[in-house]
Structure 1
């Protein structure tokens, strides 16, 4: 009679603890560590050839330039958050009509300022009323009566 032993589930591969970095991307520090390890553990009788070393340094330089470009693009994207304020600044001094909350009527007012809060653009009327730019129904030149 053959007896079968049970396999401990903790020995399965998915159950094993991960070692090292849990990140799936390499950055320039990781690249430098790999390069330094490669230089330290090379065979003294058969050292890395100049061409190979220059190629790896060029790859490192390219990686660093791409990372700098990525950071510059992120900064540029962050600076784009004020575009709506500039876009709607032409409404300053104009008369706009907007719905009154909880009422079916509209009200008119002159735009004194444009601001942005929590990703939304607001118009501030001369009387202090705050109006969401998305709720503006009509824009006209200030009537001089």
Structure 2
């Protein structure tokens, strides 16, 4: 019983954090946590049953973890869509990218995505093609070409 109670206490501590952190901390999903509660009910001492308030409190904590995880996934999706939108806005435009003490200017020819982050491929005025440039490293975007 002490192990299950410790999980319940830990879930309350992590319910305010992101859903991914909760999943990482427990190493299991919401359905697995519900199975723990059901197992706790199955094997509880009949002479010392869990109080209704405690049971409802644990279910509420599990529900908060699931809702936080869902919200975190949706926010991540919005951020990735925003990054894709920003990346497509520079397609066909001239950008400046710092390279040590110098700055490289080039026309954005294509955009690729690596682990959700946009990467640019530019063609410089002397005909060189430079790939795998992070959008965050662009220092200037020309208004008109």
* TM-score for the superposition, normalised by structure 1: 0.52
* Separation (CA, whole Å) in 2 of partners of 1:81 and 1:21: 38
Aligned length: 113
**Which structure 1 residue ranges, 4+ long, deviate > 6 Å from structure 2?**
none
Question: Residues 89 and 67 from structure 1, CA distance in 2 versus in 1: closer, same or farther, beyond 3 angstroms?
Answer: same
Deviation, structure 1 residue 95: 0.9
Q: Report how far residue 142 of structure 1 moved.
A: 4.3
Higher helix proportion, which one?
2
* Corresponding position: 1:113 with 2:106: no
67-76 or 126-135, which deviates more: 126-135
Q: Which consecutive unaligned segments of at least 5 residues does structure 2 have?
A: 9-32
Give runs of aligned pairs for residues 22-101 of structure 1, distance below 5 A: 24-26=6-8, 27-38=33-44, 41-42=46-47, 53=52, 55=53, 58-59=56-57, 61-79=59-77, 82=80, 83-99=82-98, 101=99
Give the aligned CA root-mean-square deviation in angstroms: 3.8
Alpha-carbon spacing, 1:56–1:97, altered in 2? closer, same or farther (3 Å): closer
Tell me, which stretches of 5 or more residues in structure 1 are unaligned? 1-19
The residue matched to 1:35 in structure 2 has which SS?
helix
> What's the secondary structure of 2:43's corresponding residue?
helix
Identify, as 1 or 2, the structure richer in strand.
2
- Per the alignment, do residues 120 and 72 of structure 1 end up closer, same or farther by CA in structure 2, a change over 3 Å counting? closer
Distance in structure 2 (CA, Å) of the matches to 1:22 and 1:109: 59
Q: Distance in 2 between matches of 1:61 and 1:73?
A: 18
Please give the TM-score of this superposition, normalised by the length of structure 2: 0.52
Indicate conservation of the 8 Å contact 1:28/1:63, yes or no: no
